[in-house]
Amino acid sequence: MAMNLCGSLCGVLLLLFFMCGLSASLISECPVNFEVSNYTIITSKCKAPKYPASKCCAAFKEFACPYARVLNDLTNDCASTMFKYINLYGKYPPGLFATKCREGKGGLVCPATPPPPPTTSP
């Protein structure tokens, strides 16, 4: 089953703080340590000055889709934390991925996680 990754994760953040009325004290810490993640997949492909959408969005999806569940969870700070580090390491203009990477109303479509390999009994 494919999962959507919010195309406008910045919009999710706005939704958190303005539309839902949640205070920062109700947001839990992200269970993923994005500080130590390897952002090379994005920074090696999504380059200034043009930031080509095809390369940037494909790289963003490759990095972010494995984390779609936690990034779409409005009760944690994963999306803001991830974007903080993407922007720190890539020095991207604000909103780059939110404006360039759109696939429809549901956001970016992440491929379904492949099923685990079958277990073989000896």
Residue 110 falls inside a structural domain: no
Residue 4 falls inside a structural domain: no
Residue 83 falls inside a structural domain: yes
Give pLDDT, residue 117.
Answer: 52
Give pLDDT, residue 17.
Answer: 43
Residue 114 falls inside a structural domain: no
Whether residue 52 is preceded by a cis peptide bond, meaning omega within 30 degrees of 0, is no
pLDDT < 50: residue spans in the chain: 1, 7-22
What are residue 109's DSSP bridge partners?
A: 4
The count of structural domains within the chain is 1
Give pLDDT, residue 81.
Answer: 95
Torsion sign over Cα 46, 50, 53, 55: negative
Find the domain containing 81 and state its range.
30-102
